[in-house]
Amino acid sequence: MPISKPRLCAEPGVFCGVTSTRYSDGSYAQDNPDWHEGDAEWKAVRIAAFLNENGVSPASICDVGCGTGGVLAALSPRFPSARIVGYELSPQASQLARRLHPDVDVRQEDVFLSAEHFELAMLIDVFEHVEDYIGFLRRAKFVGDKLLCHIPLDMNALTVAREHRVRAKREDVGHLHYFSKWTALETLKDAGFDIVDTRYTWMGIDIPETSIKQRMIQTAMRLGRRVSPDTTARVLGGASLLVLASPTD
């Protein structure tokens, strides 16, 4: 029996903890006109494999902050019997979702004000954008029986050493918080989740680079991943973290 959600958000259409207007006034859309739609299939393949490895075949899936709904569209044929719903605060992203994926149920409203409950809630590259990210995660406990997160691991030696990369994460894609594997997992624990499983994803390796310098870094990442994925993620970066978690009682 799902726990009743606390009614903590005063304004419909605004997710708790997200106070920046850049996601609703068109600023983010101007900097990221495709809302990362090109990454959706890549993410969905890895999410589906991760869920299958953990024996999770949810009857209902919610993607909070779903952008264009591309991840849900790519997951739909992989979980054909599941009820799939996306929640997105941005009018620009919601409009793009309706155009690109008309068969996906994307709602421009606050999931925390919804009466719906899901077997799986997803936060795919989301809570690093949220000012009150721990409060946001605590409220997410009431959305699904399980939580799946995909978290960019921006806190690595190479990125920190090159300040322009940190600035780009903040200015271009709106990251307010920067995680390592350890801080990401401790954050979820602090918010009231038990960690079920984790898995690295490696967009920094999988997406080809054009410059010689970046190709050299990718080669080092590939070699390092074979020897020690944890050390490679901490030092060279290029990784994000998939986390499957359950709310604590």
47-73 pLDDT, tens digit per residue, is 999 999 999 999 999 999 999 999 999
Which segments of the chain does DSSP mark as H helices, in order?
A: 27-31, 40-53, 70-75, 91-100, 133-140, 157-161, 163-171, 181-190, 203-206, 212-227, 229-235
**Sorting pLDDT into bands at 50, 70 and 90, what band is 20?**
low
d(CA 156, CA 185): 15
123-143 pLDDT, tens digit per residue, is 999 999 999 999 999 999 999
Q: Region 92-116: what's the mean pLDDT?
A: 95
Torsion (CA) 114, 120, 121, 123 in degrees, nearest 10: -160
217-244 pLDDT, tens digit per residue, is 888 888 988 899 999 999 998 999 999 9
CATH class of segment(s) 27-205+239-247: alpha beta
Which segments of 54-108 does DSSP mark as H helices, in order?
A: 70-75, 91-100
Residue 11 predicted with pLDDT over 50 = no
Measured between alpha carbons, how far is residue 143 from residues 3, 122, 137, 228 in Å? 9, 9, 10, 35
Measured in residues, the chain has a length of 249
Q: Residue 24: which of 148, 151, 129 has the closest Cα?
A: 129
Sequence-separated contacts (24+) of 210-213 with Cβ below 8 Å: none
Q: Residue 218: which of 197, 234, 230, 232 has the closest Cα?
A: 232
Residue 4 predicted with pLDDT over 70 = no
pTM of the entire predicted model: 0.89
134-189 pLDDT, tens digit per residue, is 999 999 999 999 999 999 999 999 888 888 888 888 998 899 999 999 999 999 99
189-207 pLDDT, tens digit per residue, is 999 999 999 999 998 787 7
Q: What is the pLDDT of residue 216?
A: 87
Q: What is the pLDDT of residue 18?
A: 55
